[in-house]
Amino acid sequence: MPTKTMTDLGIDREAVEEALANNWTFPARWYSDSDIHALELEGIFSRSWQYAGPLSKLAQPGDHIVCQVGRVPILITRGRDGELHGFINVCRHRAFPVAVEDGNRTTLQCQYHAWTYDLDGSLRKAPRSEHEPDFDKSELCLLPVAVDTWNEFVFANPDPEAPPLREAFAGFPELASERGLDYTGYRYYGRYTYEVPANWKVWVENGSECYHCPSIHTGSFSDAFVTKLDVYEYVNRDRYLGQFTRYNPRAKRYKGVPPEGERQFRYVFLWPTTFLVQDDYVGFPGMIIPTGPESCRFISDMFVHPDADEEIVSQWTEMWNQTLEEDTEAVGLQQPGLRSQMVPHGRLMPASESAISRFHRMVWEEVAQALDRE
């Protein structure tokens, strides 16, 4: 729990409420302040669901993947019982990770002092423990986290008592079904990682609007899809945000041929850091890992449609990679302006940036609740 109050953090509740109500952004300081960042890590990320990895990597007993939610390292296994198990990826001895990469093992072993755990997290062996008179293995299991699945993906929440994914995002499965956000049959293609020189909220805000698309993504996303305001659709819900549009009939390079039903581009953001993106050729879930007050890492796992030929796959994964690289450059140029605090608040454009307003409300609700709990 946070140890500082709103007064300690320089947060004026009424001023924040008034700013958000009048389409102003958070104070610029919130995008670089280390105390605000620490509050978010504890108050938001320690109790939130996030995409963890492809379910296909957990097909067999012994399969395991590693991921991170906020600052929390997480390990997910497929046990001998066929069930998924999630743990804090920290050995109970001296905090070394139990696994450092995805793989398959019959047991999990810390490579520092060889403490060995079963796939259900129970401590199996600790070398020299027989010389410790009060050593009780049953008290030293890996600490659990909540695990859930949706479609082809597995999700994790550091809070072992977290409500199920479908309860946390009520209505999301119905929206996904209605809009054709479905990765069934898509095959895993590869992982793309972007080191983003900006606060995690800046990256979410960038991904929550396409106001910037005609200027930043002229030869990438805006070539592939229609980004005009009267076509581009936003769906803002309680804990998830959607964006939908159609292929650009005047595309110069990325020419999409819509199938029956014209699903085309669909996107859903799940609070606080999961992105689900898909067109009719490729798609990716993505996750943000905050790495500091002014930096984060964005990881996207690319999947491709089983019927898409290699030329199409190459073109469309290239388009998405170029789009994300352009976003990385754009927010990196934005961050110094926020750091300067010379413009204390930005002015949002509600017709084009309503999703940012909703995102700000999510952040503020969680931050305020965290401080109130203290």
Q: Which domains does the chain have, with CATH numbers?
A: 50-157 (2.102.10.10), 171-363 (3.90.380.10)
Q: pLDDT tens across 323-345, in order?
A: 999 999 999 999 999 999 999 99
For the chain, report the end-to-end CA distance as a whole number of angstroms. Answer: 6
pLDDT over 60 at 259, yes or no? no
pTM check: above 0.85 = yes
pLDDT band at 372 (very low <50, low <70, confident <90, very high): confident
Query: Do the beta carbons of residue 49 and residue 64 sit within 8 Å?
Result: no
Residue 229 carries which DSSP code?
A: T
Query: Do the beta carbons of residue 337 and residue 225 sit within 8 Å?
Result: no
Residue 143 carries which DSSP code?
A: P
CA distance 1 to 285: 30
At residue 84, what is the residue type? L
Query: Which pLDDT does position 1 carry in this prediction?
Result: 47
The enclosing H or E element of 327 equals helix 310-340
Residue listed under structure tokens 């030329």: 311
* Among 286, 108, 147, residue whose Cα is nearest residue 207: 286
CA distance 86 to 143: 8
The whole-chain average pLDDT of the chain stands at 95
pLDDT over 60 at 357, yes or no? yes
Q: What is the mean pLDDT of residues 269-287?
A: 97
**Over the range 22-57, which residues count as b (16 or more CB within 10 Å of their CB) and which as e?**
ebbbbbbbbbbbeebbbbbbbbbbbbbbbbbbbbeb
Share of the chain above pLDDT 90, in %: 93
- Burial class for 138, CB neighbours closer than 10 Å (0-12, 13-18, 19+): exposed
- Burial class for 275, CB neighbours closer than 10 Å (0-12, 13-18, 19+): buried
Q: pLDDT tens across 98-155, in order?
A: 999 999 999 999 999 999 999 999 999 999 999 999 999 999 999 999 999 999 999 9
